[in-house]
Structure 1
Amino acid sequence: MTRFEEFRDLHRTGAPLVLPNAWDLASAAALAGAGFRALGTTSLGVAAAAGRPDAQGDTLAQTLLLAHGMVRLDALVSVDIEGGFGDEPEQVASLGRELADAGVAGVNIEDGLPDGGLRPLGRQCAMIEAVKDAAPDLFVNARTDTHWLPGHTALTAQRAAAYRSAGADGVFVPGLTDTAAIADLVRSLDVPLNVLYSPAGPSLRALTDLGVRRVSCGSLLFRAALGATVATARAVALDGAVPSGLPTYAEAQALADAYAERL
C-alpha cells in the first residue's frame, strides 16, 4: 500500500482520523512518537514561529522546509498550503507536485483571502483541478472558510459541491460546529468531511456519530504550547509548582533520532 492509499484509507475505516498539527520538526517528531500515524501542519504555528502573520502567503519557504523534514518521520504528512502560495493554478499545481514527489500524502488548500473575502469559485476550482492533474494521488482537502469569514455561511454547501466536482478528495469547513449543519453536509457529500476541533463544539464522539471522517487540531496544539510555556515561566518566577510529567532533556534531544534514522 502506498502512502497515498494508506492516508486515504484513514478517512474511510474505523473512527474519524484525528489529525494533530505540528509547527516545527520537534513537535512533529513528538506527535509521531506518541503514536499518531498521520500529521498535519498548522499555517498559524509555522507563520508565528517565523515571526510572520498567518494566511498572507509569505511562508512558502518555511512550509516547504517543514514538509521536507516531516516526511522523514514514520508518519503520513498533510501540508497546509494556505491559498496555494500563488495566484495561478499552474503555480499551485507545481507546488502540489513538488510536495507529492517529496513524500507528502496530502494538502489543504483554502479559499479565504487576506482581505476577508473568498476567492472566486471558478478560480478556486481551477486550482484544485490543476493540483489533481499534476499529482493525481495527492489527497486534496479543499477548505472553505465560509464559516470563518463573516457573511458567507450560506455558501458552504455550494462551495463544497463545486470543490468535490473539481476533484477534491475531501472538504474541510473550519468553524462549522452546528450539529444539524454538519449532518446535512455529510449527507450531501460523497467524500470525507473534515471539521476543526473546538473545545466549545461537539465532542469527538458526537462528530463520529454525525459522520465526520476527519477532525483536525489546527493551531490548538501550538496555542496550547504557548500557554504552557508562559504558565511554566510564571510558576518559576513566582516560586510556584512547575507542571509535572514534562519531557526530560534526553527525551527532547532524542527527537532528532526520529529523523536521523530515516536519512
Structure 2
Amino acid sequence: MDFGGAEKASLFRRLHHGDRPLVLPNAWDFASAAALAEAGFPAVGTTSLGVAAAAGKADAAGGTRAETVALARALARLPVPVTVDVEGGFSGRPGDVAALAAGLASSGIAGINLEDGRADGTLTPAGDQAAVIAAVKQAAPLMFLNARTDTFWLGAPDLDETLRRARAYAEAGADGIFVPGIAADADIRALLEAVDLPLNVLHLPGTTGYPRLARLGVHRVSTGSLLFRTALRATVAAALDVTGEGDAPSVPSYADVQRLVSDR
C-alpha cells in the first residue's frame, strides 16, 4: 500500500519502536532502493558514500547536494518510508540545512541522517550542531531526524563526549541518535541509559551481530556503505568471471572507494 509523506513519516517513527530492531538497508540509486523495498524491507535509507562515489565524487566533502536531492525526490515514489543521508547538511548555516530538510519533507521523505563529522576529520562544535538540529526540527517537525555523532568514527572512541553530544542533540529535538563505530556492549548500554531516544548502530560484519544488538535493546541497525561496497566487489568478480582470469577481489573498504574516486 502506498502512503503520503505524513503517513510515511509516522510509519517510519513507529518502526523504531517494534519488537526488534529496524534493519535499515542503505541504497545508492533508485534501482537498489526499489529492489530493497521489493525484497520486503519496511524502510530504506541512502548511503552518502554510494551516492557520492556513483557521481565520481568523494564522500563527506559536502559536494553532493544536487545528487542527494535528485535521488531523494525519485525515492519518494517508493511505497516505503525513505530516510536520506545528507552528510552535514551541505552547509554550516542552520537556516540552509533547515530549508534543505523542509524541501525533502515536502517531497515525501520521512527522515534524514545529519552528522557532526567534518571533512577534515574534526567534529562540529556540539552547540553549533544542536542549533542546526533545532532549526531542522522547527522547519520539518514531522521528519525523523537521526542525529549522527562521529565520536567513534573519527579518531579514538570517546564515550564521555558521545554521551555529552547525544544529550545535547536530544535536547535540541533530535528523534534518534546514531553512533557509527560503536560496538562494545558496555558502550551501547551507556548510551541507551543516558538518552531516551532510539539508538542507531552501524552493522559491522563480524562485530555487531544483529541478535546481540537486539538483546541489548538497539532500535535501528544500518548497513551504511556495506551494500554498495559489496556490489562493487560483485561487479568486478562478474567481469573477471567472463574472462576466466584473475582472482575475485575482496569487498573494498570505505577508504578504498574514497581512493577510487579521488585518484581520478
- Structure 2 length-normalised TM: 0.89
Counterpart of 2:228 in structure 1 is: 222
- Match of 1:132, as an amino acid? K
Q: How far off its partner does 1:33 sit?
A: 0.8
Deviations 1:204-245 (A, max 9, x none): 0100010100000000000000001111111111179x9xxx
Counterpart of 2:50 in structure 1 is: 45
1:155 to 154, 161, 165: 161
Deviations 1:108-129 (A, max 9, x none): 0000011110001111000000
1 CA distance for matches of 2:151 and 2:109? Answer: 27
Mean Cα displacement is larger for which, 50-59 or 176-185? Answer: 176-185
Q: How far off its partner does 1:13 sit?
A: 1.4
1 CA distance for matches of 2:51 and 2:127? Answer: 29
Q: How far off its partner does 1:151 sit?
A: 3.8
Q: What secondary structure sits across from 1:141 in the alignment? A: strand
1 CA distance for matches of 2:83 and 2:74? Answer: 12
Root mean square deviation, CA, Å? 1.6
2 CA distance for matches of 1:152 and 1:228? Answer: 32
2 CA distance for matches of 1:199 and 1:231? Answer: 20
Deviations 1:39-92 (A, max 9, x none): 000000000000000000010010011100011011100000000011100000
Counterpart of 1:184 in structure 2 is: 190
For the 8 Å contact 2:85–2:114, the answer to whether it is kept is: yes
List aligned pairs for 1:14-29, cutoff 5 A. 14-29=19-34
Q: What secondary structure sits across from 2:130 in the alignment? A: helix
Counterpart of 2:10 in structure 1 is: 5
For the 8 Å contact 1:194–1:212, the answer to whether it is kept is: yes
Q: Percent identity?
A: 56
1:197 to 172, 180, 203: 203
For the 8 Å contact 1:179–1:202, the answer to whether it is kept is: no
1 CA distance for matches of 2:173 and 2:85? Answer: 18
Q: Which runs of 4+ in 1 moved over 2 A?
A: none
List aligned pairs for 1:134-173, cutoff 5 A. 134-151=139-156, 153=158, 154-173=160-179
Q: What secondary structure sits across from 1:26 in the alignment? A: helix
Counterpart of 2:215 in structure 1 is: 209
Q: What secondary structure sits across from 2:138 in the alignment? A: helix
For the 8 Å contact 2:76–2:108, the answer to whether it is kept is: yes
Q: How far off its partner does 1:202 sit?
A: 2.4
1:107 aligns with 2:112: yes
2 CA distance for matches of 1:184 and 1:148? Answer: 17
Q: What secondary structure sits across from 1:10 in the alignment? A: helix
Counterpart of 1:31 in structure 2 is: 36
2 CA distance for matches of 1:206 and 1:116? Answer: 30
Q: How far off its partner does 1:152 sit?
A: 5.3
Unaligned 5+ runs, structure 1? 243-263
- Match of 1:203, as an amino acid? G
- Match of 1:22, as an amino acid? A
2 CA distance for matches of 1:202 and 1:121? Answer: 27
- Match of 1:116, as an amino acid? G
- Match of 1:172, as an amino acid? F
- Structure 1 length-normalised TM: 0.89
